[in-house]
Structure 1
Amino acid sequence: MLTACDNKPPEKQVTEAQAPATESSSSSDQAQVSSERDPAMDALAEQYVRLVLTLGNHDKSYVDAYYGPAEWKTEAEADTASPAELANRAERLVAQLPQTIAPADDLNSLRKQYLKTQLGAVAAHAHHIADASFRNFQQEAKALYDTEPPVQQYSDFDPVLAALDAELPGDEPLHTRVQTFREQYRIPEDKLDGVFKAAIEACKERTQAHVALPANESFRLEYVKDKPWSGYNWYQGDSHSLIQINSGLPIHIDRAVDLGCHEGYPGHHTYNALLEEKLVKDKGWVEYSVYPLFSPQSLIAEGTANYGIELAFPGEEKTRFEQETLYPLAGLDPATAEKYQRVLDLLAQLKFAENIVAREYIDGEIDRAEAVKRFQKYTAMSPEKAEQRVKFVDTYGAYVINYNWGKALVKEYIEADADTPQARWQKFSRLLSSPRLPSSLHW
């Protein structure tokens, strides 16, 4: 558990859920589900949970959430197995599953694929801990996140940088002009809590109109500093989350909705609460009581959390809501909100350039100082934000792909055969409460 910083605004809590809209049950993910338990799979799932908890002894960032039996955690903490031995255990568990799992939409087939893929990532991470002398960005992405992100070049982003330069002309470096412009939209620290409360409430209201949330779901909001991330959801179990916002760096007005959706509704809080309700409580699938951070599940978690922003606030609705509600709460002038959004849209197109910098840094092609420079040059980050981003890569490695590439994969999956907002919400909701992982998005 992380400790919140001193002098933070009062903690806020949302404790009541409105009556949600009823979701369609016609999904193929929900069809063909046997009500019978599978003792062999349940036993393997328990071993998976215990294995993840034990590997957490060697990497304090690894177990992102756990709300299963307390004795399993206690027993795992007492397990002295080395990372190499834990990798061997994971590989033995993989061998108990079918070598080939035929593509199918029923939840039991997806469950087998989930456990096999997650266990493969456990083994890969354990091997890396055992021997951290070699790292490769693409191999890490495939082994841990069940995907192969596209390999791009900096030149791919030249048109976007040129458009951004034209939008904000001047003689200073582009990243300096961007940050000077964005500073007009910084939320004053004494306004943060009010702005975030209003943003999260709007995210929740829009989500509840389409997704059946657990009746007792709630979260607690804290403000912290000196973190490598801008926001974090620590899921506590029983449909409750601790959401932390990093106020150590400037927070601009657009981040309120982004983080409210991403960390809360319909993002991480919603995702974890639905998995717990639909799979752990309703079906007794204990594997979902633990969340290993460096695993394929994270691509789905981050991808849905980022896609959920535009699902909740499609088109110009986000800008309009910010102008009408958040700008006044922050004491900001909404007159130039459209221009600000144009700049933000261009910056969003530079997100994949972050993967190039991370890849070069992880693969040893550039050093830390050069990585900071390239984040500034190719993604228009401030020096402080670039330093934070390198710190993030130091801590989480190829995890960066889960935000941009994860969103792209989820968006493609959701919109492939869902032409209306309602259809997209229904498919999105089903994805949040199913065992689908990156490779099974193509099933």
Structure 2
Amino acid sequence: MPTDPVPPVVRDYLLLGLRFGRLVDGFVDCWIGDPALERQVRYEPPPTATELVRQAREVAAAVPDSGLAPVRRRFLAAQLTALECAGRRLAGEEMPFRREIESYFQVRIAPRDPDWYAAAHAELDAELPGSGPLRDRLVEAHRRDRVPVDRLGGAVHAVAAALRAELAPRFPLPAGERVDFEVVTGRPWNAFNTYLGGLRSRVALNADVGHRITSLPFVATHEAYPGHHAEHCLKEAGLVRDRGWAEQSISLVNTPQCLIAEGMAEQAIHVALGERWGGWTAEVLSEVGLALDGARAQRVETAFGRLLAARQDAAIMLHDQGRPADEVAAFLARWMLVSDERAGQMLRFLTDPLWRAYTTTYIEGSRLVRHWLDAGGPGDPATDRYHRLLVEPMLPADLAVDLPAPAVAQPTPAVAQSSRPTPA
């Protein structure tokens, strides 16, 4: 393990991230760094947003002459651009929503054509029996698919254990890694990975949302294998411990780091199981007494998955176009085929000061990672590319270089400018 001291610019970046966490609960998604830095921030006077903006600019100005490797300088510059923007927002500065998104995540967003959702509705209509409204039929299908609460923990454990065994040859993890699952209630999210350090994660599943049998492989791949848990383990072991890259000991929401992490986690099921996930899930869960028509579930879930981008469109309507909240809730209910109550829950997530931009990490992160994985060709398969994402500190702009058209904005140094929950 490296014994070299942490470079000053990295130390200042870590302190800045911890200070954001002091000011905004939940801003630090993961911290496995030097406890002395955390103690220092804990006993400091509480920071102000204006002070954090100033510090972000000062740290960014020091990055070019820091002597760090180029990949580390790029990472820090991108993160600091996002932190400066976050500080400006916390200080009360108004800015266009899409510019805010670009500063956080290095992506440009735009609403989808409603025909995209209409086509998915047509596919669902063909798959769901009955003559009533499509939304009612989908809600009923989801109700029948629910896992009894008393069996949820055992079921997700079974899926995760099977994934761990199957993926070990392709994505070997350090010895001693472990994920513990727990079932909770009264939370605003579906599932949440807390990385504890030391190759350990705790994943909480919110029983209130009614987890479905079909959703279990998505939860297990996203949160554990080969998603968040695998990424944290490999970066702790390879970057923090072996190489001494201490900047990887903290994860901060609303930064390019989280867009890549969530995009990877969203694509984890496709990398892990490909087009056989439905049948694979049915076989694994049959051993714990849960029945699933894997092929049909896969067709329905694939069509339903195409509706999820409506969450980002709703954010654009709210924060970029200034549309009324009731109109946005109606948009979500119509195109995502959810109840009015569920649309209201989504709206609360989209209007939360911390999380309002975070939906982009799922929508654009998933799209960008999927395109990048597919761009490798026969000599650079998706599995190898995904492994690079697990072990290297890659940015959205890094992935865009390999794509045929610019899908993300080029990074702008923070000095030039004046995540993690799975949502309910």
**Normalization by structure 1: what TM-score?**
0.84
1:262–1:160 CA distance, 2 compared to 1 (3 A) = same
> Which among 364, 369, 377 is matched to residue 334 of structure 2?
377
Matched, 1:60 2:54: no
Deviation at 1:397, TM superposition (A): 0.9
Aligned counterpart, 2:143: 183
Deviation at 1:381, TM superposition (A): 2.2
Aligned mate of 2:49, from 83, 86, 95: 83
Change in CA separation of 1:168 and 1:36 when aligned onto 2, cut-off 3 Å = closer
Trace 1:38-77 onto structure 2 (pairs within 5 A): 42-77=7-42
**Aligned amino acid, residue 57 of structure 2:** E
CA-CA distance at 1:320 after TM superposition? 0.8
Structure 1 residue 129 and structure 2 residue 90: aligned?
yes
| Letter paired with 1:261 | T
- Distance, in Å, in 2 between the alignment partners of 1:222 and 1:413 is 33
Change (3 A) 1:330 1:394: farther
Kept after mapping to 2: 8 A contact 1:58/1:129: no
Q: Which residue identity is paired with 1:431?
A: L
Instruction: Specify the alignment match of 1:439 in structure 2.
Output: 397
User: 1:327-406 alignment to 2 at 5 Å?
Assistant: 327=286, 329-332=288-291, 334=292, 336-363=293-320, 365-395=322-352, 396-406=355-365
Matching residue of 1:162: 122
Q: 1:313 aligns with which of 248, 268, 273?
A: 273
Measure how far apart 1:38 and its partner are: 9.1
Q: Match of 1:149, SS?
A: coil
- For residues 376-409 of structure 1, the C-alpha deviation after alignment (integer angstroms, 9 at most, x for no partner) is 2111223343233222223311211211221121
Output one character per residue of 1:277-331: Cα deviation in whole Å (capped at 9) or x when no partner. 111101111111111112111111001111111111111x211122222145254
Q: Is the 8 A contact 2:2 2:242 kept in 1?
A: no
Once the two structures are superposed, what CA deviation does each residue of 1:78-118 show, in whole Å capped at 9, x if it has no partner? 2433111111110111112339xxxxxxx932211000000
Question: Structure 1 CA distance, aligned partners of 2:96 and 2:281?
Answer: 41
1:205 is matched with which residue?
Answer: 165
1:323 counterpart letter in structure 2: A
Asked if the contact 2:282/2:294 (under 8 Å) is kept, the reply is: yes
SS at match of 1:231: strand
* Alignment correspondent of 1:413: 372
Structure 2 CA distance, aligned partners of 1:309 and 1:167?
22
| Structure 1: distance between partners of 2:327 and 2:71 | 42
| Other-structure match for 2:414 | none
Please, which of 62, 66, 76 is the counterpart of residue 115 of structure 1?
76
User: What is the CA distance between 1:156 and its match in structure 2?
Assistant: 3.5
**Aligned residues of 2:153 and 2:182 also touching (Cα < 8 A):** no
Equivalent residue for 1:262? 222
Please give the alpha-carbon distance, in whole angstroms, between the structure 2 residues aligned to 1:424 and 1:190. Answer: 37
Q: Which amino acid aligns with 2:359?
A: V
SS at match of 1:222: strand
Native 8 Å contact 1:154 1:356 kept in 2: no
Query: How far 1:241 moved relative to its partner?
Result: 1.0
Residue in structure 2 matched with residue 427 of structure 1 by the alignment: 385
One-letter amino acid matched to 2:344: E
Query: Residue 9 of structure 1 aligns with which residue?
Result: none
- Determine the C-alpha separation between the residues in 2 that align with 1:285 and 1:56: 21
Amino acid at match of 1:50: L
Distance 2:9 2:294 in 1: 53
1:235 and 2:195 matched: yes
Unmatched runs of 5 consecutive residues or more in structure 2: 402-424
For the pair 1:140 / 2:100, whether they are aligned, the reply is yes
CA offsets per residue over residues 360-384 of structure 1, 9 Å max, x none? 1233633333333222211122334
Letter in 1 for 2:318: Y
- Backbone CA RMSD of aligned residues: 2.4
**Aligned AA for 1:340?**
A
1:189–1:36 distance in 2 versus 1, CA, 3 Å: closer
Query: For the residues of structure 2 that align with 1:357 and 1:188, how far apart are their CA atoms?
Result: 32
| Rounded Cα–Cα distance in structure 2 between residues aligned with 1:63 and 1:312 | 28
Query: Where does structure 1 lack aligned partners over 5 or more consecutive residues?
Result: 1-34, 100-106
Deviation, structure 1 residue 170? 5.0
Give the one of 210, 218, 223 matched to 1:250. 210
Q: What amino acid maps onto 2:127 in structure 1?
A: E
Whether the aligned pair in 2 keeps the contact of 1:135 and 1:362 (CA below 8 Å) is: no
What is the letter of the counterpart of residue 48 of structure 1?
A: Y
Distance 1:339 1:143 in 2: 41
Check conservation: 2:163, 2:225, Cα contact below 8 A: yes
The answer to whether the 8 A contact 2:2-2:244 is kept is no
Whether the 8 Å contact between 2:193 and 2:204 is mirrored in structure 1 is: yes
Determine if contact 1:218/1:241 at 8 Å carries over to the other structure.
yes
Give the Cα separation in 1 of the matches to 2:190 and 2:254: 18
In 2 relative to 1, CA 210–191 (structure 1 residues): closer, same or farther, beyond 3 Å? Answer: same
Matches of 2:377 and 2:155, distance apart in 1: 33
Cα deviations by residue, 1:193-246 (Å, 9 ceiling, x for unpaired): 221111111221232121120112112211122222211111111111111111
Which range moves more in the overlay, 433-442 or 409-418? 409-418
Aligned equivalent of 1:273, options 233, 253, 271:
233
Q: Supply the distance in 2 between the matched residues of 1:73 and 1:111 (Cα, whole angstroms).
A: 22
